[in-house]
Structure 1
Amino acid sequence: MIGLTLRQMEYLVAVADTGTIAGAADLCKVSPVAVGQAIDEIEKSLHTVLTVRRRSKGVVLTQAGEAVVAHLRKILRETQQIPQIVESANQRVERSIKIGIFPTLAPWVMPAILREYAQNFPEVSVDFVELTAAQMKEKLTLGTVDVALTYKGHDPQNTAVLDAGQMTLYALVPASHKLAQRTSVALDELRQENFAIPGYMPAHDTIYNLLERHSMEQQVVWTAQSNDTLKSLVGEGLALSLIFSFGRITHSLHGQEVVSVPIANPEIENSVVVCYPPHRSPGVIEKNIQKIVQAEAAGHNKNRER
């Protein structure tokens, strides 16, 4: 179908609908010569005969012509929807955005997203709601959120995703710990430590399976659904923790100093993804949020390397 114009497609479909060149010309408000030339060009482009033209009996489609016209009808119907698609997209960008986000991810990226839109897109109203994976799937399906942000591997089924940033696995230790001054630490160096690890998915299974591969799963004494709880346990010196994050955690909820030491060769990855309904291509909203999260991740990683 390379080289065909929408106008040529319209002429051929009009011929099929009216049964004559003259009828198609009247319908399309062009001359019969223009319609005839268009059909000739289509047949030449496809290297096949699509019509049988007889003066007294009008135009009859060949079998190939019927198949082509059926396909062209679909194309023309879809092109008619383009103005509505553009209008809908513009409305989404200009008016409001509703973001669904996993609770432990929100503190790392929502301030940056809200700041970026407030500074550069002040006409856009941005709202967010913290959701589980099941809630994300439901709300994306219903259209009550425009996009969702979560961890790769925890993204809802039947959604499309854009990768938005890689998180770092840290050992979280008290400031007084012997490893607090290290620039990185191997997991095997933590064999004598007790761990409090995330209880939320997928971080729990990812981290627990890593410890299990190193025969260290017996060192897990607590799990917690809140990173604040994990930080407080570390701040009190009750356990170390393993946490994925974009940047270093420096204090517990009670103000106790803690230190984030990157795990060397962690063997596992955890990235952030932007989720959206699979029936649409990523648009302005998805790509803007992807860029913001990528910039936030890059900024934290740059600070970590200093």
Structure 2
Amino acid sequence: MTNFGFTLVQLRYFAAAAELGSMTAASQELMVSQSAVSTAVAQLEKELGVQLLLRRHARGLTLTAAGEEFYRELRNYLVHTAELAEVARTAGRALVGDLTIGCFSTLAPFELPRLLAACEEEHPGIRVSVVEDEHAVLKQALRNGRCELALMYGYDLEDDIDHVRVGVAAPYALVAKGHRLARRKRIKLRDLADEPMVLLDLPHSGRYFEGIVESAGFAPQIRHRTTGFETVRALVAHGQGWSLLNQHPASDMTYDGSEVVALEITDSVDPLEVVLASMKGIRRTGRAQAFIRSSIRTARERAGR
């Protein structure tokens, strides 16, 4: 068996330097001297017998191929050294500590408050912080360890990302209150083929909605594109076109006091899964597992109401 003599401090200093790309930035983050970080990294490299970082004065630090692989494994290890210490401190007591989760921006107002409240009720010692952003940014945040979980839609998830379902979001058509179809409860998308469309044009979401229209046999006549969920609703309410959405506000009234009508579509369209995603192959912390269990229970209770 090979015995390595590196320390946990050296690993932490290396991780900070690798993440921040600078010995100076790492020393400021860790509140130690720059020489302490530099010496720790040099000693770690000597002990391992491999160069982990390339030092370039003008461009800071760059991970070598070996450094990238080592850092990827190290992030998971450091998370669980902190959890191990926490287990010792809190043995026999409730879960405590910090948990950072990501959340897709349009999902946040509909799903996030309910899940946070449920987790807080069951595990008041878990302090959850949230990173809101779009799909691609959240996947990167999972990969670089910025967040441990991400609440998002279950599309375009690569093989390195695992997920569990906590809900579904079926698409529906949105029209103004005075629209010719507003009195119906259900329609075929073909009924809207000759009218302009207002598109919620977020990355991936826009293409998803366009694909639904195209699967109905016609190309959407897009009059307006916007990244704002409520902007879509307001434009539709003022007769600027119809739209497709998949989250239902409790009220049909828009911010400016106008009204919209949601119509079920009879076209065969698969709903989007709402998932909690995490990195595959990385053992989740107890806090993350607790949040997932709480979210699944909340989703089941809501579906059964």
- TM-score for the superposition, normalised by structure 1: 0.63
Equivalent of 2:184 in 178, 182, 207:
182
Aligned residues between the structures = 222
Determine the C-alpha separation between the residues in 1 that align with 2:294 and 2:190.
Answer: 36
For structure 1, which runs of at least 5 residues remain unmatched after alignment? 1-12, 14-82
Residue of structure 1 in register with 2:143 after alignment: 141
Residue of structure 1 in register with 2:246 after alignment: 244
1:137 and 1:267, CA in 2 relative to 1: closer, same or farther beyond 3 A?
closer
Partner SS state of residue 246, structure 2: strand
Residue of structure 1 in register with 2:36 after alignment: none
Which amino acid in the other structure matches residue 259 of structure 1? V
Contact kept, 8 Å, 1:166 with 1:246, in 2: the verdict is no
Residue of structure 2 in register with 1:65 after alignment: none
The reply on whether 1:164 has 2:166 as its aligned counterpart is: yes
In the TM superposition, residue 96 of structure 1 has moved relative to its aligned partner by 1.6
Which amino acid in the other structure matches residue 104 of structure 2? F
Which amino acid in the other structure matches residue 87 of structure 1? L
Contact kept, 8 Å, 1:194 with 1:239, in 2: the verdict is yes
Residue of structure 2 in register with 1:6 after alignment: none
The reply on whether 1:288 has 2:285 as its aligned counterpart is: no
Contact kept, 8 Å, 1:100 with 1:145, in 2: the verdict is yes
CA RMSD of aligned residues (A): 3.1
In the TM superposition, residue 298 of structure 1 has moved relative to its aligned partner by 6.7
Map Cα deviations across residues 228-261 of structure 1 (whole Å, 9 max, x no partner): 1101101112111111125666222212121211
Determine the C-alpha separation between the residues in 2 that align with 1:258 and 1:302.
Answer: 27
Partner SS state of residue 261, structure 2: strand
1:89 and 1:281, CA in 2 relative to 1: closer, same or farther beyond 3 A?
farther
Determine the C-alpha separation between the residues in 2 that align with 1:182 and 1:297.
Answer: 30
Partner SS state of residue 119, structure 1: helix
Equivalent of 1:113 in 87, 112, 115:
115
Determine the C-alpha separation between the residues in 2 that align with 1:280 and 1:89.
Answer: 18
1:178 and 1:258, CA in 2 relative to 1: closer, same or farther beyond 3 A?
same
1:293 and 1:85, CA in 2 relative to 1: closer, same or farther beyond 3 A?
same
Determine the C-alpha separation between the residues in 2 that align with 1:133 and 1:173.
Answer: 27
- TM-score for the superposition, normalised by structure 2: 0.63
1:264 and 1:220, CA in 2 relative to 1: closer, same or farther beyond 3 A?
same
Contact kept, 8 Å, 1:173 with 1:241, in 2: the verdict is yes
Contact kept, 8 Å, 1:97 with 1:127, in 2: the verdict is yes
The reply on whether 1:206 has 2:208 as its aligned counterpart is: yes
Contact kept, 8 Å, 2:119 with 2:291, in 1: the verdict is no
Map Cα deviations across residues 54-108 of structure 1 (whole Å, 9 max, x no partner): xxxxxxxxxxxxxxxxxxxxxxxxxxxxx95973685894112111111111111
Equivalent of 1:87 in 68, 84, 87:
84
Contact kept, 8 Å, 2:122 with 2:294, in 1: the verdict is no
Which consecutive segments of 4 or more residues in structure 1 shift more than 6 A?
none
Partner SS state of residue 217, structure 1: coil
Specify the structure having the higher radius of gyration (Cα).
1
Map Cα deviations across residues 7-47 of structure 1 (whole Å, 9 max, x no partner): xxxxxx9xxxxxxxxxxxxxxxxxxxxxxxxxxxxxxxxxx
Residues 1-306 of structure 1: matches in 2 within 5 Å? 87=84, 90=87, 93-155=95-157, 158-245=160-247, 250-281=252-283, 285-286=288-289, 288-289=291-292, 291-292=294-295, 295-296=298-299, 299=302
Residue of structure 2 in register with 1:39 after alignment: none
Percent identical among aligned pairs is: 22
Contact kept, 8 Å, 1:166 with 1:270, in 2: the verdict is yes
- Higher-helix-fraction structure: 1
For structure 2, which runs of at least 5 residues remain unmatched after alignment? 2-79
Partner SS state of residue 186, structure 2: coil
Contact kept, 8 Å, 1:250 with 1:257, in 2: the verdict is yes
Contact kept, 8 Å, 1:137 with 1:156, in 2: the verdict is no
